[in-house]
Amino acid sequence: MDVNKELEIFEEKIQKGEKIEPKDWMPEEYRKNLIRMISQHAHSEIVGMLPEGNWITRAPSLRRKLILIAKVQDEGGHGLYLYNTAETLGARREDMIEALHTGKAKYASIFNYPSLTWADMGAIGWLVDGAAMTNQVSLMRTSYGPYSRSMVRICKEEAFHNRQGYEIIATLCNGTEEQKQMAQDALDRWWEPALMMFGPEDKDSTHSAQSLKWKIKVEGNEELRQRFIAMTVPQIEARGLRLPDPNLKYNPETKKYDYSRINWEEFFNVIKGNGFLNRERLRDRNKAHNEGLWVREAAEAYSKKHSSNNK
Ligand code: 3HC
């Protein structure tokens, strides 16, 4: 069948809301855009383990330690799940890992910011996972079948991540004045990087037009950012915390929140590799990957031995 006819059938399926499956015909740009987005999503999950991982030994109680360990493990699982999803499009695991470890591939810029106090564990669960969840609930409606289904499972676990983070913040707000100040300080530091998680404004977005046309994304960056703000502002007020942006205010005319211009210069500088911790994050990922070589070799040897036994 000629390409134009294939494209027509593909776009008809998209318009009807049908899912595109791995064996279906798809435009090369659709495949490439999805591999880019899904692999970077996976990288974000894996690198996202690092800011919290270094607080596991400093958790203030056994209960908090258990919750944080469970959350960090979940993130690792999300990363592997998403690498598998990208592989259904023909991406090779080793290529994706190499792209991350050499700094060629992106991951969520927010993970290049330092987690300075225990309150940051709360802010990350509450704000970072809250923003990720807002984005991922929308992605459950993405046109690519395996990605849409992977979001269903990931969102269930994301809800736990968000609630446990908010509980940490609520606990601190009900504590001493100093603890409440820790929560305020973490909110002030993580707020703007959390807004950046939704990407640049749609007019400056490289991929949004095509992603929206082929329903890789079903909502634009700004629409999701607004949804996250509307979800979080009442929580900030319920905890008696100060809004992290003096210009953050609901505008009854636009029915949206006004807020201070996001520092996009900082955003693009961080994703260029010049954030607080970009180098340390890649160093830690490379170190973990190299130290885990023996596990991968053992697993391969085991599966080779057992698959030849079953022949
Ligand atoms: N951090 C790093 N890079 C970002 C970014 C961010 N927050 N937002 C955008 N970018 C990059 C894009 O990757 C793109 O660069 P590229 O062409 O080299 O890939 C460029 O900036 C332009 O942005 P666009 O808006 O054109 O890019 P997208 O259309 O891909 O939109 C996105 C960006 C909203 C992040 C989209 O890719 C997306 O929805 N991805 C899936 C969700 C995801 O990856 N979330 C990351 C966090 S996951 C997480 O935090 C889990 C937690 O539990 C640990």
C-alpha span between 103 and 272 (Å, rounded): 9
Mean of the per-residue pLDDT values of the chain: 96
CA of 134 to the centre of ligand 1 (A): 13
Instruction: Count the alpha carbons within 13 Å of 269 in the hemisphere toward its beta carbon.
Output: 10
pLDDT per residue over 222-255, tens digit each? 999 999 999 999 999 999 999 999 999 999 999 9
**CB neighbours of 240 closer than 8 A, spacing ≥ 6?**
173, 180
Distance of CA 82 from the midpoint of ligand 1 (Å): 14
DSSP letter assigned to residue 57: G
- Candidate from 206, 223, 226 with most ligand 1 atoms within 8 A of CB, to mutate: 206
pTM, full prediction: 0.96
Model confidence over 132-190: pLDDT tens digits?
A: 999 999 999 999 999 999 999 999 999 999 999 999 999 999 999 999 999 999 999 99
Ligand 1 surroundings by CB, under 6 angstroms: 36-37, 40-41, 44-45, 48, 75, 106, 108-109, 128-129, 132, 135, 158, 161, 196-200, 205-208, 211, 221, 271
Nearest CA to ligand 1 atom 3: 108
Q: Hey, whose CA ends up nearest to atom 20 of ligand 1?
A: 206
102's tokens: 């050499």
Give CA 30 to chain center in angstroms: 21
- Give domain limits for the chain: 3-309
What spacing in Å lies between the alpha carbon of 15 and ligand 1's midpoint? 24
Q: How far apart are the first and last CA of the chain?
A: 40
CA distance 138 to 151: 9
Q: Fill in the DSSP letter of residue 215.
A: T
Per-residue confidence band for 311, with pLDDT thresholds at 50, 70 and 90: low
Residue 309 has a pLDDT of 73
**Can you tell me the distance from the alpha carbon of 92 to that of 103, in angstroms, rounded to the nearest whole number?**
17
Task: Give the DSSP letter string of 89-137.
Answer: TT--HHHHHHHHHTT-S---GGGGS---SHHHHHHIIIIIHHHHHHHHH
Q: Which atom of ligand 1 is nearest to the CA of 33?
A: 30
Task: Please report the atom of ligand 1 found closest to the CA of residue 202.
Answer: 25
Q: SS3 for 251? A: strand
- DSSP helix/strand/coil, 250: strand
The string of pLDDT tens digits covering residues 67-120 is: 999 999 999 999 999 999 999 999 999 999 999 999 999 999 999 999 999 999
Which residue, by CA, sits nearest to atom 18 of ligand 1?
Answer: 106
Task: Tell me the best of 30, 35, 37, 120 to mutate to test the pocket of ligand 1, counting ligand atoms within 8 Å of each CB and taking the most.
Answer: 37
pLDDT confidence of residue 308: 74
Q: Which residues contact 114 (CB under 8 A, 6 or more apart)?
A: 51, 276, 277
Question: 41: CA distance to ligand 1 center in Å?
Answer: 7
Mean pLDDT for the stretch of residues 3-10 = 95
Instruction: Evaluate whether the domain defined by 3-309 bears CATH number 1.10.1060.10.
Output: no
Q: How confident is the model at residue 284 (pLDDT cuts 50, 70, 90)?
A: very high
